[in-house]
Amino acid sequence: MKKYYCIAICAIVAIILLQINHIDSIYRNYKLEIEDKLKQALSIAIDDELHIRGVLLNGHKPEKTHAIVRIRMEDMTPAMLDSISKLPGAKDTINVTKAREEGAIGTSAEISQQQSQDNYIRRGDYIKLPILDSIFINRMKMQLPHRFVLLDKDEKVMDSIGDFPFRHGNFIKTQAIGLKGLQTLRLEADIPMSQFAKQEILTLISNALLMLLLLGCVVLQLRVIRHKEQMSRRREIASKGIIHDLKSPVGTAVTLLGMVKYRHQNDPEAKPLEKNETMMQHLLHEIETLADTVGEDGVRTTISREPVDLAALADKVKQEVDIVYHSKQHNISIDNQLPQDLMPKVDADKVERILRNLVENAVKYADAGVEVLVVLTLQNNALLVSVKDNGWGIEPRYFKKIFRPYYRIEQPEDRYRKGHGMGLANARQLVLAHGGKLWVEGEPGKGSVFSFTLPQK
């Protein structure tokens, strides 16, 4: 159960981290968008403030519309051309590349604006921060804590507007005023999370609801797994109790039948006793299989190795299955390819149960007249036992699943056979305990071949 808790905790942490990363990504995109708006509003505010400053300097009243009149040089009067040639800096050579590197301009189109700034600074007519701030606020169309600081060439504060504390800002934009580097304008602003939360409230709520939904699903799944684990544990405890209660009387019955058969071994009418003894031994085998399958997880199956005549063991299984399925037409044959003097050291009882399970399944899951062949041979210095039949066969997609406890392949109603899905799981467990492996081959309609190996020790 602990691994399920670990998986659930990892899933919850992953969901929370993904949501945090998603919200952080949204906030970063929002911040970049606001920063672009701040830069654009600052550029427009500087340009409009310069225009208003020029209008006020000429004694005119600023208008709402900022217009530029273009006149071709060939249409200018001599007086116009003369006045342009007398403008400060009209004949200066400007290094555009250097001006860009210094941050004075972004494009060559801004040269005229920056020259005008130099002219006003030379006259002592500096940038009007209240007008600049007013234009900036109107352009932003949203309230953000900010302030403007005007610095001289030595970076000393000449003027400022706004009471926003610089230490709390997360956006700073510096803009050179003029080409001479005489003044610098710095915008300090804060892009608060509260503003982001107000604007993206629906997105945040939907993400929170999604996260809660996913967390709820994980918790619900964990509760279901826990409930199933508890039910499985209770079923295991109940099964052990039933198995324990059954094993003792059945074992006693087998012993008593053996004693009665021994006393009447020369009596021709005692033949049914032998059949009943075989049936009771088969029932005891089924109980032991259940006991092994529902045993505690992690408990290692104990193997008692002793020299065993594998061919005789296979013949014993054949006779027992013949008795159990005497009413069903079938034929079981044994092909012993082992050396006559070979007596491998294995657990006779465990190997008998493996063989009985495989041979019984071959007869059980087939139509009447089924042919079953048990092959005993050596392969790579290991015992190889194969149980072949021409029964219903198995689809390849079930080759691994059928060895799981309680797993059964769904069959049509006319092919339904009683069972618990524990036989093959127990057989695999016993083969692995010997250090071997168990596998299946075949296809529907052509029968199956169950094979297992047992190392020689």
What pLDDT is attached to residue 264? 66
Alpha carbon distance 35, 332 (integer Å): 85
- Cβ proximity of 290 and 406 under 8 Å: no
pLDDT beyond 60 at 385: yes
Name which of 420, 405, 319, 425 is nearest 363 in CA terms: 319
Asked which of 234-238, 395-399, 425-429 is least confident by mean pLDDT, the reply is 234-238
Q: How confident is the model at residue 244 (pLDDT cuts 50, 70, 90)?
A: low
Strand order in the sheet with 171-177: 157-161, 146-152, 183-189, 171-177
What pLDDT is attached to residue 298? 45
pLDDT beyond 90 at 363: yes
Residue 357: count other Cβ atoms within 10 Å of its Cβ: 24
List all residues 6 or more positions away from 248 whose beta carbon is below 8 Å from its beta carbon.
none
pLDDT beyond 60 at 68: no
What pLDDT is attached to residue 192? 80
Alpha carbon distance 415, 286 (integer Å): 22
Interval 10-67: pLDDT, tens:
877 888 888 888 888 888 888 888 889 999 999 889 888 888 888 887 777 766 565 5
What pLDDT is attached to residue 431? 93
What's the average model confidence in pLDDT over 87-116? 62
Q: How confident is the model at residue 73 (pLDDT cuts 50, 70, 90)?
A: low
* The 3-state secondary structure of the chain, one letter per residue: CHHHHHHHHHHHHHHHHHHHHHHHHHHHHHHHHHHHHHHHHHHHHHHHHHHHHHHHHCCCCCCCCCCCCCCCHHHCCHHHHHHHHCCCCCCCCCCHHHHHHCCCCCCHHHHHHHHHHHHHHHHCCCCCHHHHHHHHHHHHCCCCCEEEEEEECCCCEEEEECCCCHHHCCEEEEEEECCCCCEEEEEEECCCHHHHHHHCHHHHHHHHHHHHHHHHHHHHHHHHHHHHHHHHHHHHHHHHHHHHHHHHHHHHHHHHHHHHHHHCCCCHHHHHHHHHHHHHHHHHHHHHHHHHHCCCCCCCCCCCCEECCHHHHHHHHHHHHHHHCCCCCEEEEEEECCCCCCCCEECHHHHHHHHHHHHHHHHHCCCCCEEEEEEEEEECCEEEEEEEECCCCCCHHHCCHHHCCCCCCCCCHHHCCCCCCCHHHHHHHHHHHCCCCEEEEECCCCCEEEEEEEECC
What pLDDT is attached to residue 253? 67
- Cβ proximity of 225 and 59 under 8 Å: no
Bigger pLDDT: 196 vs 105? 196
Average pLDDT, the chain: 80
Q: How confident is the model at residue 7 (pLDDT cuts 50, 70, 90)?
A: confident
pLDDT beyond 60 at 83: no
What pLDDT is attached to residue 354? 93
Answer yes or no: pTM beyond 0.75: no
Give me 280's structure tokens. Answer: 């009771």
Q: How confident is the model at residue 296 (pLDDT cuts 50, 70, 90)?
A: very low
Q: How confident is the model at residue 450 (pLDDT cuts 50, 70, 90)?
A: very high
Name which of 129, 56, 125, 106 is nearest 137 in CA terms: 129
Bigger pLDDT: 164 vs 423? 423
- For tokens 């007013």, name the residue: 134
Give me 394's structure tokens. Answer: 């198995």
What's the average model confidence in pLDDT over 403-423? 80
List all residues 6 or more positions away from 430 whose beta carbon is below 8 Å from its beta carbon.
292, 301, 347, 350, 351, 353, 354
pLDDT beyond 70 at 94: no
What's the average model confidence in pLDDT over 82-103? 56
CA-CA-CA-CA torsion for 290, 292, 297, 300, nearest 10 degrees?
180
Give me 428's structure tokens. Answer: 């695999």
Bigger pLDDT: 414 vs 356? 356
pLDDT beyond 80 at 391: yes
Q: Please tell me the number of Cα atoms within 13 Å of 418 on its side-chain side.
A: 1
